Every structure is written in C-alpha cells, then in structure tokens.
Amino acid sequence: MTKEQKSTILRLRAEGYKYVTIADTIGLSINTVKSYCRRQGAASQADDVPCCKQCKKPLVSKKGGKPRLFCSDECRNNWWKHHPSDINRKAYYDKTCAHCGKPYTVYGRPNSKFCSRACASQHRVKNAEAGS
Ligand SMILES: [Zn+2]
Ligand SMILES: [Zn+2]
C-alpha cells in the first residue's frame, strides 16, 4: 500500500464510505482496506450491517455474490443522480508522463508514471540502453 492509498482510505473512511466502496475506488481488496482501518482505529460498526446508500435500509446480500451498495436499481439510479461521479472523481489522478512529458489523467492508479503502455516500455528500453 502506498502513502497516497493509505491517506485516501482514511479520508474516505472519515467521509463515511464503506470498505467495499473504498476498496473499489483505490483498487485494493476489501480485506486490505478493512485491516488497515482496524489498525488505524477507523473501523466502525456500520460496516457490519450493510445498508442501502440511498434509503439506508439494511441490505440482504446474496451469499457469495458481490457486496451490494443499494437495495434496488431505483435507489442506485437515484443515488448516482444526486452524486454525479462523486466517488469516481476521487480516484482520478492528474499526472505527467515520465517518458513523453504529456499530461494525462489516470483512474485508480496513483503510482502511474506513463500515459500509455508504449511510453512505459519505451522508457524502459531507454533506461536499459543508458545503463549498458
Ligand atoms: Zn434503497
Ligand atoms: Zn507518454
């Protein structure tokens, strides 16, 4: 886990997001997020009873299924209507490509260095040549 990820976890936690949301946002497993929060004392009982983000009704999650955030499609639609890309925007990082110098935006990868795979591999080749 990077420093940025850790502080993102704590920030989202402070804003009341559930582990599953935080995990999705920064691309870590729920268990990683959970155990980190426990260690930081940021755990709360709210996560033991998953509730619909929109109407706050307790959710009955299907065993083995993906943890759900909403009790119904209606609630999901309503929530997103009122929170346009609220969560997703937090996972976007403005970066400058370490190879071509172009600014770019990356989703969910705070450690990203290159705007594209091509730049990443070209950079690696360049470094290898410089090193030999
Ligand atoms: Zn609901
Ligand atoms: Zn580039």
Q: What confidence tens digit (pLDDT) does each residue in 59-90 have?
A: 776 666 667 788 888 998 888 888 766 555 66
The pLDDT score that the predictor gives to residue 82 is 81
3-14 vs 30-40: helix axis angle to the nearest 10? 80
Distance CA 89, CA 80 (A): 13
Query: What spacing in Å lies between the alpha carbon of 128 and ligand 2's midpoint?
Result: 18
How far, in Å, from the CA of 75 to the mean position of ligand 1? 5
Confidence of residue 131 (pLDDT cuts 50, 70, 90): low
Average pLDDT over residues 103-108: 87
Q: How far is the CA of 25 from the centre of ligand 2 (A)?
A: 24
Displacement of CA 130 from its chain's centroid (Å): 36
Q: Residue 108: pLDDT band by 50, 70, 90 thresholds?
A: confident
Tens digit of each residue's pLDDT (9 = 90 or more) over 3-47: 999 988 888 888 888 889 999 999 999 999 988 888 877 555 445
Task: State how far the Cα of 5 lies from the Cα of 26, in Å rounded to an integer.
Answer: 7
Question: Does the structure show a pLDDT above 60 at 58?
Answer: yes
* pLDDT higher than 90, residue 130: no
Among the bound ligands, name the one nearest to the CA of residue 122.
2
Question: What is the C-alpha to C-alpha distance for residues 13 and 5, in angstroms, rounded to an integer?
Answer: 12
Q: Are 59 and 53 in contact (CB under 8 A)?
A: no
